[in-house]
Chains A and B, each alone.
Chain A
């Protein structure tokens, strides 16, 4: 991770502090991401009062004034060193700083960008021409489709290449200001996700054997975060039974353009079955036709529509005393061609919670594009939750059946006597 991300962290923390103090969001947004260049304008707006009466949060350096600002509910911006340096700076915008090598480098990058823009134009024309061709002229349905797809991919690539060398884009992305409707920010976010978070996710779901147990294969391409209340749950973390009584919120970040319809399923493959001496599956949640896109990422599972999306409502997970931990695996599955599924038919058909996810995947042509995982085990709050939801095995404690050692392994076989 680049250290500038670290550098942006204090900024974000300031933001968070301010939010927790209950300041209106609009004020926050205008103020929080002030760049160096715009400081002068803010100064020019209110010159009438002396500085110690109305300290500017981007320039204040004395600890006393900082504290006063904090009491008023405004966090100072950036580090104290930065604020002190800004006090007597000329406030030249970053891209106009007259360092010679930097400016020469910008010229090179600008020339490259203009070339890329020209390429985008020619590529767009070629694409339009190719699409206008009839199937016979293009030489078959398949050939035409593959050519058009390749051209579209190349066009997307060119859009990324046009912007990737811009320092402002890099700065925006590191500050978390990236506009996810633009391909460059989606590309950067995807790269960052794959550098670390995806590796951790894949490690968790493979080490805890969710992948062969629940679904045979999953290649995550969307970043999924999960929250119970306000608390984020890392992949594979233990969650209290009390915390998980209400459905979690998901934050599904798609890195492609356009909108997708997905099915969200939460499956527990670890329900102990005493009769067969094995484990059963249980679907704790199932919703279909959930739209996600790169810009609208939040999915609150408790707010999904009962009459057109939720097939099986949220069932709080509880682990019986003595049972091993339960892996509650969340799967985001893309519906084929992003077409909506027939909700009524599914609602009447899928009434049982015991159907495995493999069956659902096969019957509705779903493709897993994202996964997440949390675990639950017996804890102090489980008993109450069991009573609340009317779980019938609440008074039972499971025990491992004693495995009789084989005759030759017995310590004191009868043949010895």
Chain B
């Protein structure tokens, strides 16, 4: 019992888990399963294990008038939803605070640089797109027909991207990265 943390001790107190049954270092999930097991009818194995006590029913449940009828799961959900053990604000020594501050500033700077790089890349793409379209419009020698076709926006906002496009990037993409046999599926 000496190593039971205060959170777990109070949890055990709330759900009336006998402290002797709790293992030396119970994790939260084990305590929870303990409670669930109590709620269900004990199988023959568990009953045999609990030979020390004559009854497996808790005292509150045995009482006729008293005893809550709420689901134990709901009790637990309420406990975890409202329990006040939120982390306190951190308190660093001065050097440690300054190290933290340095790292924080560097991270902010790095993120700003990344954003800037991203934006410049997009700007570069946009400008080269602009130049290409201008070339297509004036210099292609077909009276701008190709340009008009390329500017056609039909179906972009109604059919949108095919669902096959939307694949999140993975660390290990498949061996054949692009399906060249893909056909646009018929719309219903």
Contacts and interface: CB of A to CB of B under 8 A. Distances in A.
Q: Do chains A and B touch in the complex (CB under 8 A)?
A: yes
Interface of A: 3-4, 7, 36, 94, 97, 99, 101-102, 104-106, 108-109, 112, 165, 167, 170-171
B60 interface: no
**B contact patch SS:** helix
A170 B101 contact: yes
B77 interface: no
Contacts of B103: 101-102, 105
Contacts of A99: 99
Nearest to B100: A102
Nearest to B107: A105
Nearest to B110: A108
15 contacts: A4-B94, A94-B98, A97-B95, A99-B99, A104-B106, A105-B103, A105-B105, A109-B102, A109-B105, A109-B106, A109-B109, A165-B105, A165-B106, A165-B109, A167-B101
Contacts, number: 43
Interface residues of B, number: 14
**A contact patch SS:** helix
Top-5 shortest CB links A-B: A105-B106, A108-B106, A105-B103, A167-B98, A165-B105
B169 to A, nearest CB: 25
A398 B103 CA distance: 65
A12 to B, nearest CB: 14
Given A108-B106, A108-B110, 13 more contacts: A3-B91, A101-B103, A105-B103, A105-B107, A106-B102, A106-B106, A109-B102, A109-B106, A112-B109, A165-B105, A167-B98, A167-B101, A167-B102
Interface in B28-81: none
B95 to A, nearest CB: 6
Nearest to B94: A7
Nearest to A105: B106
Interface in B137-156: none
A181 B5 CA distance: 55
A108 B95 contact: no
A3 B94 CA distance: 9
Contacts of A104: 106
Contacts of A102: 99, 102-103
B107 A170 contact: no
A102 B103 CA distance: 6
A105 B101 CA distance: 10
B109 A97 contact: no
Nearest to A164: B105
